[in-house]
Amino acid sequence: MKLKIWQAGEAVLRSQSRPLTPGEIRGPEIQELIASMRDTMRDAPGVGLAAPQIGLDIQLVVIEDRPEYIQKVSPAQIEERQRRPVPFHVLINPSLTFEPSETFEFFEGCLSVAGFTAIVPRAGRVRVEYLNEAAESREVVADGWYARILQHEIDHLQGTLYIDRMQSRSFSTTDNYMRYLARQSEAKFAARPDPARS
């Protein structure tokens, strides 16, 4: 089922989300919610979705960066962003730590700040401990664009939006950003919608 994506200005997007218990995670409500969040993310389309974005203050995130999304990005962008496909997965009660790495600055968007984009500095490498949809402990060390998605989504669970971290003078409508890309002689890619929102 497709859910409504809430926009900046709603209090839930500025709230600290609560962790889920293993019993809740295995229950039918959360399992159905995970399926609906997956459908909503794919419909948007986006590469990640956090529960506060559909109005729930719980520590639940879905992520997926599909090969067909990445095909829409220029080879130069894929290379500099270190963007690789990420299969669909669920992160519950995640805890993020920064690993030694460079900071990378790229334009980023958010499904809850629809129509805008800005440059956001992010760590190049992070470690995340979490529970999966079966309430089993998991850990991932991620780098590149996947590390950026993880930082963006886990920020949502603490009521933080990318606009809190952006270089504010880079803030732009998505349309103007596409025109900027076109001027960078990437017109054939800029003509397509950028799915790198989450």
- Closer CB to Zn ion, residue 16 or residue 21? 16
For residue 158, give the 3-state DSSP assignment. Answer: coil
Please report the DSSP string for 103-142 in residue order: EEEEEEB-TTSTTEEEEEEEESEEEEEEE-TTS-EEEEEE
Q: Is 60 in the site for Zn ion (CB under 5 A)?
A: no
Other Cβ atoms less than 10 A from the Cβ of 172: the count is 17
By CB under 5 A, which span of 26-34, 54-62, 103-111, 175-183 interacts with Zn ion?
103-111
Find the shortest distance in angstroms from Cβ 183 to Zn ion. 27
- Closer CB to Zn ion, residue 4 or residue 188? 4
Bridge partners, 187 (sequence order): none
Find the shortest distance in angstroms from Cβ 23 to Zn ion. 28
For residue 12, give the 3-state DSSP assignment. Answer: helix
Cβ density class 90-122: b for 16+ within 10 Å, e for less? bbbbbebeeeeeeebebbbbbbbbeebbbbbeb
- Closer CB to Zn ion, residue 55 or residue 182? 55
Query: Is-catalytic flag, 153?
Result: yes
Q: Is 110 in the site for Zn ion (CB under 5 A)?
A: yes
By CB under 5 A, which span of 1-9, 13-21, 32-40, 190-198 interacts with Zn ion?
190-198
CA dist list (Å): 191 to 74, 105, 174, 196? 12, 23, 12, 14
What is the total count of residues that contact Zn ion (CB under 5 A)? 2
Find the shortest distance in angstroms from Cβ 59 to Zn ion. 15
Of 126, 99, 168, 133, the closest CA to residue 28 belongs to 133
Q: Return the residue nearest Zn ion (CB atom).
A: 110
Find the shortest distance in angstroms from Cβ 108 to Zn ion. 9
- Closer CB to Zn ion, residue 22 or residue 121? 121
* Residues in contact with Zn ion by the rule CB under 5 A: 110, 198
Active site (catalytic) residues: 153
